[in-house]
A = this chain, B = another copy of it.
Amino acid sequence: MRSADGLSNRQRDILNYIEEFVQEHGYPPAIRQIQEKLDISSTSVVAYNLKALEGKGMLKREGKVSRGITIPNVVSATLSRIMGGSVPLLGVITAGMPLPEPEDTSSTSVEQIEVPPDVVPADRLNDVYALRVRGHSMIDALIDDGDIVLLRYQPTAENGQMVAVRIEDDNAVTLKRFYREGEKVRLQPANVTMSPIFVDAAKVAVQGRVVGVLRSMM
């Protein structure tokens, strides 16, 4: 008896029990515990199904080791789906300063910022990095001193996206909504009460897209 995920009922039962057991005890169950709990007649049946589950990538096993069963999902996927993920805090963004390049993302010594899934889903955190805002120069983007902006590196933008742009001949990086209008680009402040500015398309360099903002007022 199979269903969509390609697992037999028994295999799903085993998987569920392991997950449950780890949740409750903090360590994986032994084969004989699985056997008894699920009323399986022999340990070899459990071993057989564990092997099948491992082949399907549903769990990992450490051979010959007691309780050497691991469910990657419980430790990583399930957790990250709940808690989101983390992105590197690469530096500070101020009025007259170009953005740091998001190169050494994997460097371990960089401070990490937790991003809840409500802001950016965990599976879309690729190429996303964080910058701390200093100063009030982004006030027209509804971003204030102390905020943390989440940027995804991308060299182009689609209409309506809030992007970090650098304007040639101007040394400042600003956050604006991007609208291509022929040979010009309209940069619209997020604050609707403020006026847009128009620049030659050739003179704007998109540095990344703003995907979220975190503000702490503790």
Chain B residue with the shortest CB-CB distance to A130: B118
Complex copy number for this chain: 2
- A191–B117 CB distance below 8 A: no
Q: Is A117 within 8 A of B114, CB to CB?
A: yes
* A177 CB, nearest partner CB in chain B, Å: 10
Complex: A218 Cα to B118 Cα, angstroms: 10
Q: Give bound CA distance, A69 to B218, whole Å.
A: 37
CA distance A119 to B150 in the complex (A): 13
**Chain A interface helix/strand/loop/mixed:** loop
Which A residues between 109 and 159 are near B, CB-CB below 8 angstroms? 113-121, 124, 136, 139, 142-144, 148
Contact A26–B28 (Cβ < 8 Å): yes
Whether A25 pairs with B62 at a CB distance below 8 angstroms is yes
A216 and B139 contact, CB distance less than 8 A: no
User: Which one of A90-98, A195-203, A205-213 is at the B interface?
Assistant: A205-213
Interface flag for A70 (CB, 8 Å): yes
List chain B residues, Cβ under 8 A from A27.
27-28, 62, 67-70
Cβ-defined contact, A214 with B66, below 8 A = no
Interface size counted on chain A using CB atoms at 8 A: 49
Cβ contact of A115, chosen from B60, B116, B120, B192, cutoff 8 A = B116
- Closest B residue to A210 using CB positions: B217
Decide: A139 and B75 in contact? CB cutoff 8 A.
Answer: no
Q: Which residues of B contact A114 (CB under 8 A)?
A: 82-84, 116-118
Most buried by B among A113, A114, A120, A121: A114
Judge whether A185 is part of the interface by a CB distance below 8 angstroms.
no
- Pair A214/B217 contact, Cβ less than 8 Å: no
Report yes or no: A67 in contact with B67, Cβ–Cβ below 8 A.
Answer: yes
Interchain Cβ contacts under 8 Å between A and B, 14 examples: A25-B68, A26-B28, A83-B114, A120-B216, A136-B192, A139-B142, A142-B142, A142-B143, A142-B144, A144-B190, A161-B217, A212-B215, A212-B216, A213-B213
